[in-house]
Amino acid sequence: MTSPAGASIRDRARPATADELANIPWLHTLSAAERKRAESAIAVAEADPGDLVCRIGRAPTFWFGVVEGLLKMSNDNADGTSLTYSGLPPGGWFGEGTALKREPYRYNIQALRRSLVAGLPVDDFHWLLDHSIGFNRFVMNQLNERLGQFIAAREADRLNDPDARVARNLAALFNPVLFPGVGQLLRITQQELAYLIGLSRQRVNQALRTLETQGALRVEYGGIRVLDLPALRGGKVVSGRGLHQPLTR
C-alpha cells in the first residue's frame, strides 16, 4: 500500500479493534478457530485522499476491505484518460481474483477521501480457502456478484442518457452483497460520484434531482438515501400512478 509520494500506508498499520472487526462481513462465516486466526492476522490502516492501496503491476500481499471511507478501482488508458471500474464503499472487500491467482494487479485502487482499509495477508487468505467451507462460499458469491456488477457497468457506460448512467452506477454502490456496510444511506459527495461515473458534478446534480423527483432516491446532507433500488437497477422508476417511466428529464 503506497501513496503517490512513495510513503507506505503499511507504516500506519495497526491491529483492528473489536468494533472494526465486527464490521467485516465474512468473519461470521468462520469457525471459532478459523476466526481467531483471521482476526489476529487482520491489520487496518488509514489511507489519505489520493493514496494508492493497490498499484498496477504490483504483486498482492493482502486481500483488502473498506472499513470506512470510499475507494475507486480504475485503470489508465493509453490516451491518458482513466477508466473507473467501480467505487468501493464501506463493507466492500476486493481483489479476491488477484489474490487467488497471486498475479500482479491489473488496476489501481485509490482513496477518494480519508479511508480506513483492512487487510488480510494473502497466505492467510489461502489458508482460509483450504480450511473453511463458509469462507469459500463467501468468496464464490463475491466473484459471481462482481462479474454481474462489471457487466452492468459496461452496459451503463454505453448509455447515452446521463440520468440512467447515474441511476445504474448508484445501484451498484448500494449492492448489499458486495457492500453490506452501506445499507440505505451512502455517504458520498456529488463530486465523488462524478469522479466514479465520469460526468461533471453539475450533470450529476441534475440527474440526482430528476431521480429524487421521480422517487428513486433522496439527497440528504452528506449522502444519498436509496428509496427504490430495483428502479435504479432497471434504469426506470415507478410514478405515483404506478406506471413505469424512463429515467429522463
pLDDT (0 to 100) of residue 160? 72
Provide the CATH number for the domain around residue 96.
2.60.120.10
Shared domain check, 225 and 120: no
Return the DSSP state at 188: -
Stretch 81-104: mean pLDDT: 91
Shared domain check, 147 and 171: no
Shared domain check, 34 and 61: yes
Q: Does an H or E element contain 32, and which?
A: helix 32-41
Backbone angles phi, psi at 151, to 5 degrees: -65, -45
**Domain range enclosing 181:** 160-246
At 50-69, the pLDDT tens digits run 999 999 999 999 999 999 99
At 121-164, the pLDDT tens digits run 999 999 999 999 999 999 999 999 988 877 766 666 666 788 98
Bigger pLDDT: 27 or 233?
27
Provide the CATH number for the domain around residue 176.
1.10.10.10
Q: Pick from 111, 127, 96: which is nearest to 31 by CA?
A: 127
Shared domain check, 178 and 114: no
Stretch 101-113: mean pLDDT: 95
Shared domain check, 145 and 197: no
- Give me the amino acid identity at 28: H
Lowest mean pLDDT among 34-43, 82-91, 179-188: 82-91
Shared domain check, 177 and 118: no
Distance spanning both ends of the chain, measured CA to CA:
43
Shared domain check, 121 and 195: no
pLDDT (0 to 100) of residue 83? 79
Shared domain check, 105 and 187: no
Shared domain check, 117 and 43: yes
Give percent of the chain with pLDDT exceeding 70.
86
C-alpha cell of 111?
Answer: 482513496
Shared domain check, 143 and 44: yes
